[in-house]
A and B are shown apart, each in its own frame.
Chain A
Amino acid sequence: MRIIPSKVAIIIIIFFLLYIVSRCSGAKWADLCKCEELSFCRRNRVTDQTPLEGNLLFPETRVREGSVKAQQVKVKGVVGDSLYAILESRVGNVSTDLVLQVFPLTGGSFRITIAEEQAPLLRFDAKDALKEPFPLGHFDLSPYHDVEATLLWNEGKKLILKYVPFELLVFSNNQSLYPDIVVNHHRLTKLEVLQNHSNHFCAALEETHLANDNISIVENMSTNTKEDSLLQLYCQNAFEETVHGHLDQKKRGLEAVSMDIMFPFGQHLYGLAERATDLSLSFTKDSLYGSVYSEPYRFYNLDVFEYETQKPLGLYGSIPVLYTLEEKSTSGCLWLNAAETFVDIFPSNWSQESSLASHFISETGLLDVVLFPGGKTPQDVFNQYLLVTGRPAMTQRFALGYHQSRWNYRDQMDTLAVNQRFDQFNIPCDVIWLDIEHTNGKRYFTWDMEKFPDPSSLLKRIGDNGRKLVTIVDPHIKVDNDYFVYREAKANQFFIRKQNEEEEYSGWCWAGLSSYLDFVSKKVRNWWSTRFQFRYYPHFGDNLYTWIDMNEPTVFDGPENTIPKSVIHLDGWEHRQVHNMYGFYMHKATYDGLLQSRNFSDRPFVLSRSFFAGSHRYGAVWTGDNQANWEHLRYSIPMILSLQISGMILSGADVGGFFFDPDPELLIRWYEVAAFQPFFRAHAHEDTRRREPWEFDAQTTTLIRKAILRRYELLPYWYTLFAASSSVNCEADFETCGPPMRPMFWEFSYDKETWKEQTEWMIGNALLVAPILEKDSLFRTVYLPPGNVSHQEQWFDLFSTDSKKRSIAQRGFVQVNAPLGRHIVFQRGGTIVPFRNRTRRSTVCMERDPIGLRIALDHDGKAKGLIYLDDGRSFLYESGHFRLAKYLWNSTGTLQVMIHPLGNKPFVGSDIIIEQIVVYGMKQQPKRAYVSSQLNNATLHFSST
């Protein structure tokens, strides 16, 4: 009898603990807005509970007869053609004329925009995400029909505009019978027409029907009543709504835009960064489809505290680009909208074939989308995407080295001690980072002179070893009239203003009460760019670079940790129209600042947490505040891969996890993963224990060092890949032009096994990386794509401890043992990878070192590869100060070297030597090796195993 109460007590305690635990881990997801909680998404989303048939809220859109015409347009000095048509759109009782414009772009993609023909207010155009000048193309509009218009353009692409109902069919090949992309197949294209508040039909509705919070539509209602109720539903929260306790007043009323885009060939969809989800996107609605999520994917840049994996919520940045894939065909689209956006992914069909469709819903902004008809491979879509958004900025070579960061290195002595310990343990490192605590009370552009009494000497000491220092700058400016940045920005009225437009907006962030600079305004950006000059930023030395953070922007006391949507920007925009591009604009202004401060002679390095499509033109991003656990380690891969295919090639995750303490095993494995991912930075939260490579036992230090050395070994290859991605002549000069870190499907899109693969990836086209991602695991299965009928693949295990295994590996699924310290990297037959294996302190110290070549032969005994070299920091490569060598190994065993004719001017390291050539997969023992050259003769030593 006495046992029962105690049992109950135990159960209660356990329950309580579970409750606490679940609250802690579940709170962040629960605190974020769901589609159903936001009126614009609620009224535009179609779920299986929303019958579309006869739904008066979804418009009948048709092309007005005789309105289709070709127009010449001029955008920033570029003249091209556009297709112009008037769409008649009718929602409920309201009928409006909309203007549809189709702009063919060079590269074969095209942009379509839809807006009111006449509107009292402007819609925000996110065109700054695109490269300037806007690359317009030319087309032929012929022949005309009564039911459709056909557009042909010189890229061999075709578009058919169907009139009733409005539908757009895009063909990657004008001979093709099947379209690659179909717009409005599901009739979800819709634009909530902007109206003046005084004669807004919702306002009128509010007066006649007292706003009713519980509107229900009953099947047996009469049509009139039903229509009435639907309109009420439509107008609910048109002008204000309270979400999670924050009142949002919408002075412009309804203004959402939405469109469905269907991919007839689609088998998988990728993209929609940034979120911690699987690489291959999941269905988001209707349990019948086996949807993983019941929520649509969301784009709303937020500082999500301790974000969880496998949730469709959006994180710090937004790149609304979609890729679709099947064996022989790819295509994609870019939703150009800076407002809060939801995206549903759902199955569809075309000519009885199953396919995939997407539905984009944005709260406001122009209805604007760029369609990429693609081609045969994901690379084709990527090329089109980069033609429109621009090539990624050419990286600083040091940025590809190892970065050591922490919130925070306490003071000057501490920072120098960390710097010195890298030398003590003979571990290379390129950059040391200082977080917010280095400033004087979070007043950015200042130093805490008590902790850092002599920043110039600090910079010099770090620079002595060829290293760089990165300091942080945030967009929130401390409200303090004695702070020169605040004073000047206030005097110039550079801050975002409250809804009433009279006072400047302020909210809480690291600096305490702060105001937010309006980076959307060009004059603010110009002013910001001047801040990075020595006279404004004391001690801004040659080896100091920049990190921008909290630029979603984060406001601790704001709705969802950000700035309210109703605050006003200088150019008159409400924040809701520009939100997702705030971080992008700050990134741009900071990039320009670094460029100007160094007289356009040094490539800027700027790491940003927030970003948008096109941010790759300005620098690096990372996946924000992740956690020290195996799940976050695993999800760093699909997260970075999504960023890679979205153009953000210099991206990575905090090594070790930002929050919490990793044990040595997790930390070592994390280094073994991140050493093969582009942006390689260790960073940690203030509350964590120190975890620099030497903070654990000697074995841990050795293994971490080994991983870091591997990165430096492959650095010539990484740098070549980055140069290729940034090159406007990539196709011609480099041949392989994808993102440096590639999903498996990128190289093997014909192989279905690779489509969902997210535990292994390719570096360029040559190296396959398959790290251990599970605790206590000493082996894993690796998938080595076997190739197809026309080309059989060969794989070589580069770092096997058993030299016999370095010969041709078995194809398909193979098991590989990997204790700590064993890096699983396979080189693909047919490739040549340059490397440098001298341990140096930093990349600068390596620039004169000889290189080696690893040649992996394909089935026919051939291989090819490249190396790109320049000074690693300036823009002199544009005038010939670079070397681009192409290596060709033919089946007779000759290595031919060809150099790019334009790269002939000198730079430090332009005359380096090849000290070692390793050939994998030779069928016969070589007898001798020699150099045949007019310049010199040298004896070659060789050995074979």
Chain B
Amino acid sequence: MGLIKMRPVPVFLIWILLLVTQETCGISKVRGADPQKLHLYENKEGFFHCLNSSQKVPYSSLNDDFCDCDDGTDEPGTAACDGSTFYCENIGYVPVNILSSQVNDGICDCCDGSDEWLGYVDCPNRCVQNGKERIEQMLAEVKIIKQGLKKREELKSLSSLRFSELVNKTKLLQVSIHEAEVLERKAKKELHWLEHVLRVIEARDIVANASVGNLSSHSSGDVVTTNEESSNDLGRTHSLQNEDDELNVNSEKTSDEVYKSTMRSDFVLETCQNISKVYTSSHMLLRLQKLFFDFLSKFPVLSNFFKGSQRKIDTEVLKLCISNLKEHLETLRSELEKNRTELERVQQYFSSDYGPENVFLALRDICLEVDSQGYHYKLCLLSHVTQDSINLGKFSQWDSNYTKMIFSDGTPCWNGPARSTVVNLLCGVNETILKVSEPSKCQYHFWMTTCAVCSVHEMKKLRDEANIILSNLNLTKGQKSNMAHKHDEL
């Protein structure tokens, strides 16, 4: 093809098409306008007032396939304005407002085909068919919702039962922990005191023995060491005394004085009796007290001790006393630890949000498992998610309307973020995982059904939709009664 000269042609493209569809008497219809807003499209002294601004344009601009209003409202029936909508009547189905950009683009969007009014494509009216299909679909949905709602009631009572159980358990645990803590504190103090007494006695003995030993076989070096040890011991005693103000030990007492006081067997007796006195307040320790005295009774020597005899026995008794007390304290502590852990566990339940009426409480810790694309997934509701042995996140929060459980802070990805999971909840009778997917690396999505999200509101919405469809149907009587029957089912 050589050089081709263009020849001037008067008009290549036709300039403007007037596409206004109006009838002479008033406005019965403006193409694409929502009938409820029809009054806004009135001809006001030759002008159309743009809907969302104070701008007005000549009335002939309405639906003339050219966008005149800055807010795009003068072209409900054409695609000329970005952001406006086209009303599909969809008789037999649900009327909808579609984007004006979908008008006359060669794709059938309205089921009645009204969006393709220039006829670029043939759009058969599918509305009645769609309506019927939709009704059938809704019937199935409603059936599920109904079953789900029933199941949800059960779930709710289960949840509230569990909730009150948890509350009671918490109270019980708190009481017993409190009691045990008081006892523990007291026993600890007693123990300190007894140990202190024992040390003082022993220190005195060592000093006494040392002076004896000095005369006999012990080397002087050994003596010095022992002395040092004992003085250290005494020093510790001193500090103990300082710590234990509650025991009213006079910190100014010299060790000798302490010793003297401990020498008094009645004091020792008093101490042991004190122990029992303290413990009588607790039924737990009545047992110990009993044990203690049973124990004492088995050793006749101890009786001597109570009679205020040899100091040798004093220390033995003291040691027994201490070891028993320690054993007891140990039991007490482990019991306490157990109860605290249990309380913590129970309280954890309260730190989570179980949605309206705590309905999700009964689902907590229920684990669902599924195999998908070569992996084994385990989803423990409101707790955690795993993929084989990899942690995909711990439960962290809900979305605003309790339809998504969000799990975060799972095992970090290589070169990436920590794994996280979103569980989408759909209304269903049973708890079942429908699908698992990983849309972004290390971000997982689950879809599962549960009755917990079934709602009357959903049902109402379906009913409303059904009403619209039914009212939009031009039906024969027989059909009507048939549909009415279906409506009742809804």
State the A residues within 8 Å of B (CB): 410-411, 413-414, 423, 426, 450-451, 464-466, 686-690, 709, 728-729, 732-733, 837-841, 844-851, 883, 885-886, 896-902, 911-916, 931-936, 938-940
CB-defined contacts of B477 to chain A, threshold 8 Å: none
Contact of A886 among B6, B14, B105 (CB under 8 A): B6
Q: Which one of A464, A848, A934, A935 contacts B107 once the chains associate, using CB atoms below 8 Å? A: A464
A411-B437, A885-B12, A914-B13 are known; give 4 further A-B pairs, CB within 8 A.
Answer: A410-B439, A732-B4, A837-B82, A931-B15
CA distance A915 to B80 in the complex (A): 10
Q: A464-B107, A915-B65, A916-B66 are in contact. Are A901 and B6 (CB under 8 A)?
A: yes
Cα distance, A316 to B39, chains bound together (Å)? 63
Q: What is the distance, in angstroms, from B77's C-beta to the closest C-beta of chain A?
A: 14
Residues of chain A with a CB closer than 8 A to B102's CB = 841
Determine the main DSSP class of B at the interface with A: loop
In the bound complex, CA of A426 to CA of B107 (Å): 15
Determine if B11 and A901 form an interchain contact, defined as CB atoms under 8 angstroms apart: no
Any A CB within 8 A of the CB of B208 = no
Are B15 and A451 in contact (CB-based, < 8 A)?
no
- With A and B bound together, what is the CA distance between A914 and B17 in angstroms? 10
Residues in A whose Cβ lies below 8 Å from that of B83: 426, 839
Whether, in the assembled complex, B467 has its beta carbon less than 8 Å from a beta carbon of chain A, the answer is no
Provide the bound-state CA to CA distance between A143 and B120, in Å: 68
How far apart are A710's CB and chain B's nearest CB, in angstroms?
12
User: With the chains together, A82 CA to B14 CA distance in Å?
Assistant: 55
* Contact indicator per residue, chain B 161-182, by CB within 8 Å of chain A (1) or not (0): 0000000000000000000000
Determine which of A411, A849, A914 lies in contact with B79 in the assembled complex, contact meaning CB atoms within 8 Å: A849
**Cα–Cα, bound, A450→B436 (Å):** 12
B441 within 8 A of partner (CB):
yes
Are A410's CB and B107's CB within 8 A? no
**Which one, B14, B80, B99, B435, contacts A935 given CB within 8 A?**
B14
| Given A413-B435, A414-B437, CB of A848 within 8 Å of CB of B106 | yes
Docked CA distance A850–B120 (Å): 15
Residues from 109 to 142 in B contacting A, C-beta threshold 8 Å:
118, 120
Q: How far is the CA of A175 from the CA of B221 in the complex (A)?
A: 121
Q: Is B16 within 8 A of A898, CB to CB?
A: no
A-B residue pairs in contact (CB < 8 Å), sample of 26: A410-B437, A410-B439, A450-B373, A466-B105, A466-B106, A688-B441, A690-B440, A732-B4, A838-B80, A838-B101, A839-B99, A839-B101, A841-B101, A841-B105, A897-B8, A897-B9, A901-B7, A911-B14, A912-B13, A913-B14, A915-B80, A931-B11, A932-B10, A935-B10, A936-B11, A938-B15
Contacts across chains A and B counted by CB atoms under 8 Å: 132
Q: How far is the CA of A426 from the CA of B443 in the complex (A)?
A: 26
Residue on B with the closest CB to A900? B6
Q: Which chain B residues border A851 with CB–CB below 8 Å? A: 13
Q: Which residues of B contact A426 (CB under 8 A)?
A: 83, 99, 101
Asked if A899 meets B12 with Cβ closer than 8 Å, knowing A686-B441, A839-B101, the reply is: yes
0/1 string, B365-393, CB within 8 A of A gives 1: 00000000100000000000000000000
What residue in chain B is nearest A684 (Cβ atoms)?
B440
CB pair A898–B7 under 8 Å, yes or no, is yes
**Residues of the B chain whose Cβ atoms lie less than 8 Å from the Cβ of A840:** 79, 101, 105
Q: B59 CB to closest chain A CB, in angstroms?
A: 14
Is A914 touching B15 in the complex (CB atoms < 8 A)? yes
Residue pair B440, A688 in contact (C-beta under 8 Å): yes
* B26 adjacent to chain A (CB < 8 Å): no
Specify which chain A residues have a CB less than 8 angstroms from the CB of B442 in the assembled complex. 687
Evaluate contact between B105 and A451: CB separation under 8 angstroms. Answer: no
Q: Roughly how many angstroms separate A584 CA and B439 CA in the complex, as a whole number?
A: 33
Chain A residues whose C-beta falls within 8 Å of the C-beta of B7 in the assembled complex: 898, 901
A778 to chain B, nearest CB (A): 26
Interface residues of B in 1-33 (CB under 8 A from A): 1-4, 6-17
A901/B441 in contact, CB under 8 A: no
Query: Which residues of the partner chain B approach A841 to less than 8 Å between Cβ atoms?
Result: 101-102, 105, 107
Say whether B4 contacts A900, CB under 8 Å. yes
Cβ < 8 Å to A, chain B residues 276-332:
none
Cα–Cα distance between A942 and B441 once the two chains are bound (Å): 54
User: Is the CB–CB distance between B106 and A845 below 8 Å?
Assistant: yes
Q: Which residues of B contact A451 (CB under 8 A)?
A: 373
Q: Once the chains are docked, how many angstroms separate the CA of A104 from the CA of B32? A: 65
Measured between beta carbons, the chain B residues less than 8 angstroms from A687 are: 413, 415-416, 441-442
How close is B381's CB to chain A, nearest CB, in angstroms?
Answer: 23
Q: Quote the shortest CB–CB distance from A891 to chain B (angstroms).
A: 17
Is B13's CB under 8 angstroms from A897's CB?
Answer: yes
Q: Say yes or no: A848 contacts B104, CB within 8 Å.
A: yes
A897 touches B101 (CB 8 A): no
B438 in the interface, Cβ–Cβ < 8 Å?
yes
Interchain CA distance A857-B411 in the complex, whole Å? 63
A940 to chain B, nearest CB (A): 7
Question: Could you tell me if B6 and A938 are in contact, using CB atoms closer than 8 angstroms?
Answer: no
Are A733 and B4 touching (Cβ within 8 A)?
Answer: yes
Instruction: Give the residues in chain A near B443, CB-CB below 8 Å.
Output: 689-690
Task: Decide: B101 and A689 in contact? CB cutoff 8 A.
Answer: no
Q: Could you mark each residue 59-95 of chain B with 1 if its beta carbon is under 8 Å from any beta carbon of chain A, else 0?
A: 0000001100000000000011011000000000000
**In the complex, chain A residues whose CB is within 8 Å of the CB of B120:** 848
Measured in the bound complex, the distance between the Cα atoms of B6 and A728 in whole Å is 17
Which of B2, B104, B416, B439 has its CB near the most chain A CB atoms (within 10 A)?
Answer: B439
Separation in Å of the B108 CB from the closest CB of chain A? Answer: 9
Q: Which residue of B lies closest to A936 (CB)?
A: B14
Chain B residues whose C-beta falls within 8 Å of the C-beta of A733 in the assembled complex: 4
Give CA–CA (A898, B12) in the complex, Å.
7
Which residues from chain A contact B441 at a C-beta distance below 8 Å?
686-688
Return the 4 tightest CB-CB contacts between A and B, nearest first. A933-B11, A845-B105, A898-B6, A897-B12
Contacts of B104 in A (CB 8 A): 848
Shortest distance from the beta carbon of B209 to any chain A beta carbon, whole Å: 47
In the complex, A931 Cα to B80 Cα: how many Å? 22
Closest Cβ neighbor of A887 among chain B residues: B12
CB distance from A176 to the nearest CB of B (A): 27
Query: How many angstroms between the C-alpha atoms of A902 and B439 in the bound complex?
Result: 51
* Contact, CB under 8 Å: A915 / B11: no
* A410 and B79 form a contact (CB under 8 A): no
Give the residues in chain A near B80, CB-CB below 8 Å. Answer: 838, 915
Q: Among B4, B105, B118, find the residue whose CB has the most chain A CB atoms closer than 10 A.
A: B105
Q: What 0/1 pattern do residues 406 to 441 of B give for CB contact below 8 A with A?
A: 000000010111000000000000000001011111
Is there contact, CB below 8 Å, between B10 and A934?
yes
Q: Smallest CB-CB separation from B447: which chain A residue?
A: A413
